[in-house]
Amino acid sequence: MSTDLRNKAIAYLRHLENREWADAQAMCSEKAMVWHNDGKGESTIQENISGMKAQVDPIQSMRYDITRQFSQPGEVLQQHVVNVVMKDGARFRLDAAVYFRFEDGLITRIEEYAGLPSNDAG
C-alpha cells in the first residue's frame, strides 16, 4: 500500500508538470486542503490549482525531481527539487519537502515547505 501511495504522490506532481490540472485535481478529495510555508494559511485544492494555473504562463517547463520519499499508512513525506525553465531562458530551482495525506486513495492534505528559489538549476 505505501508504494502505491508513493506512486500516487509522484503521479500528482507529474500532472502538475504537464499542466494536467483536472487530472491532478481528480486525485484529490473535494475537501482537500493545501498549506504552504508562505504565511498565507490554508487553501482548498481548487484554489491551489487555480493559483498555479494563473502563474504558469511564463514557464516553459517545470520538473519535480524526487530525492527522497518516506511513507506509512495513509501518508507520504518527500523531498524534491523543482527545476524550472522560464520562456525567457531563465532557470531556477526550488528545494522543497512535501507531506501528502491520503484517505480512500485520494489526497486529502498537502503541506509544502519550500526554500527560496536559487539560480543554480540543474
Residue 122 covered by a domain: no
- 91: domain CATH number is 3.10.450.50
Q: Kindly report the pTM of this predicted structure.
A: 0.91
List the domain range (segments joined by +) for residue 109.
2-114
Q: How many domains does the chain have?
A: 1
Q: What is the pLDDT of residues 60-99, one digit of tens each?
A: 999 999 999 999 999 999 999 999 999 999 999 999 999 9
Beta-bridge mates of residue 100: 76, 110
Q: What is the pLDDT of residues 20-74, one digit of tens each?
A: 999 999 999 999 999 999 888 999 999 999 999 999 999 999 999 999 999 999 9
Name every residue whose Cβ is closer than 8 Å to that of residue 9 and which is 6 or more positions away in sequence. 69, 76, 78, 98, 100, 107
